[in-house]
Structure 1
Amino acid sequence: MDTRTLRQLDVLLPGEEPDELDLAEELPRDGSTVTEQLITGDVWSRAQLFRVTVARSWFIDADLSTSRFDGVTLDRCALKGCTLVGAQWTGAVFKNVVLENCRLDYATFTELRAAMGVALIGCSMVETVFDRCRLNALALDECRLTSTRFEASDLRGADLRGNDLSTVGEIMSLRGAIVADAQLPALAEALVNDLELTVR
């Protein structure tokens, strides 16, 4: 099986290459399963999906802006160059998911569970909110985390190395995460900001 490795995290890829998959031409019905599809363009823009499972599929340059995903499961999916600006994910489950060079600015993830390896690589996450999420199987690399907030989330074991953490909010939610020595000054800055400390 093809895998994408980010430090100690191995993520299973969909299997088939994108050009070997059927092109998704419409939104899936509530409660349905989408398997081995290529989702691209604006077919899923402003979508509202409920309890849909997407398996072994690729999202390439897909516009998922302002979409709502309730109870959606992604299983062995890769997203490349996608736009998820303002998207809302509630009760989602990610298993073996890679997001690379995607825009997640102003998106909200509520009770997202990273059940198996989830890697975010080179993604923009400006003011993205993770609320009550379980992100133990998460790894980030070279992501833009400007004012990203992890609210009441569990990041024990999450690998945050290779990212600037200086403006991350709710810094106490990072308890148990993996960081590098070089990130300690940025973490101190984030803590000062989060606690509104006055340094004299």
Structure 2
Amino acid sequence: METRTLRQLSVMLPGAEPDELDLADELPRDGANLIEVLIRGEAWARAQLGGVAVSRSWFVDADLTSSQFDRVTLDRCLLKGCTLAGSQWTGVTFKNVVLENCRLDYATFTGLRATGPVALIGCSVVQTEFTRCKLNVLVFDECRLTSTRFEACDMRGADLRGNDLSTVGEIMSLRGAIVADVQLPALTEALVNDLSLIVR
């Protein structure tokens, strides 16, 4: 079984390569179970999906702009070069998911549960909001976290090394996360900004 290892996190990959999978060129019905499919292009742009489960699948250069995902489950999925800008994810579950070189700017994640390893690699996460999310087995690596907000999230064990945290909002939600010593000045800056402290 092929895996992707990032620091202490090992993520199980879909298995088959994208060119070996059937193309999912239509939106699935609510409650559908998709296994070993390829999602690409604009087929799912501005989609509204409810209760859909996607497993052992690839999203390659997929445009998910402004899409709405409600109670969706992704298991052993790899998203590469995808655009998720302005998308809304509510009550979703991620397990063994890799997002690589994706744009998540202005997206909102509410009640996301990472029940298995999740890795965001080289992603843009500008002004993205995570609210009441469980992110214990998540790794951000070389991501752009400008004005990213984590509100009432469980981040214990989340690995945030290798990222600029100076503008992250709701900094107290990072309690229990893993950081590197070189990030401490940036965390101090974020704390000062978050608490509107006056430094004299």
TM tier, smaller: over 0.9
Q: State how far apart, in whole Å, the 2-side matches of 1:80 and 1:18 are.
A: 11
The answer for the alignment partner of 1:70 in structure 2 is: 70
Q: State how far apart, in whole Å, the 2-side matches of 1:65 and 1:154 are.
A: 26
Counterpart residue type for residue 76 of structure 2: R
Task: Please show how residues 79-90 of structure 1 align to structure 2 within 5 Å.
Answer: 79-90=79-90
Task: Please show how residues 24-43 of structure 1 align to structure 2 within 5 Å.
Answer: 24-43=24-43
TM-superposed deviation, 1:169: 0.2
The answer for the alignment partner of 2:56 in structure 1 is: 56
Question: Aligned to 1:133, what secondary structure does the other structure show?
Answer: coil
Q: State how far apart, in whole Å, the 1-side matches of 2:42 and 2:32 are.
A: 20
- CA deviations on 1:127-169 (whole Å, 9 max, x unpaired) are 0000000000100100000000000000000000000000000
- How many residues align? The count is 200
Q: State how far apart, in whole Å, the 2-side matches of 1:14 and 1:84 are.
A: 20
Does 2:104 correspond to 1:113? no
TM-superposed deviation, 1:77: 0.1
Q: State how far apart, in whole Å, the 2-side matches of 1:25 and 1:159 are.
A: 35
Question: Aligned to 2:94, what secondary structure does the other structure show?
Answer: strand
Counterpart residue type for residue 106 of structure 2: Y
Structure-1-length-normalised TM-score: 1.00
The answer for the alignment partner of 1:45 in structure 2 is: 45
Question: Aligned to 1:97, what secondary structure does the other structure show?
Answer: strand
TM-superposed deviation, 1:25: 1.3
The answer for the alignment partner of 2:196 in structure 1 is: 196
Percent identity between the aligned chains? 77
RMSD: 0.3
- CA deviations on 1:54-95 (whole Å, 9 max, x unpaired) are 000000000000000000000000000000000000000000
Counterpart residue type for residue 187 of structure 2: L
Structure-2-length-normalised TM-score: 1.00
Task: Please show how residues 1-200 of structure 1 align to structure 2 within 5 Å.
Answer: 1-200=1-200
Q: State how far apart, in whole Å, the 2-side matches of 1:79 and 1:161 are.
A: 21
TM-superposed deviation, 1:29: 0.5
Q: State how far apart, in whole Å, the 2-side matches of 1:198 and 1:81 are.
A: 41
Q: State how far apart, in whole Å, the 2-side matches of 1:4 and 1:103 are.
A: 20
- Ranges of 4+ aligned residues in structure 1 off by more than 2 Å: none
Question: Aligned to 2:145, what secondary structure does the other structure show?
Answer: coil
Q: State how far apart, in whole Å, the 2-side matches of 1:160 and 1:139 are.
A: 6
Gaps of 5+ in 2: none
- CA deviations on 1:8-66 (whole Å, 9 max, x unpaired) are 00000000001100011100000010110000000000000000000000000000000
Q: State how far apart, in whole Å, the 2-side matches of 1:68 and 1:167 are.
A: 27
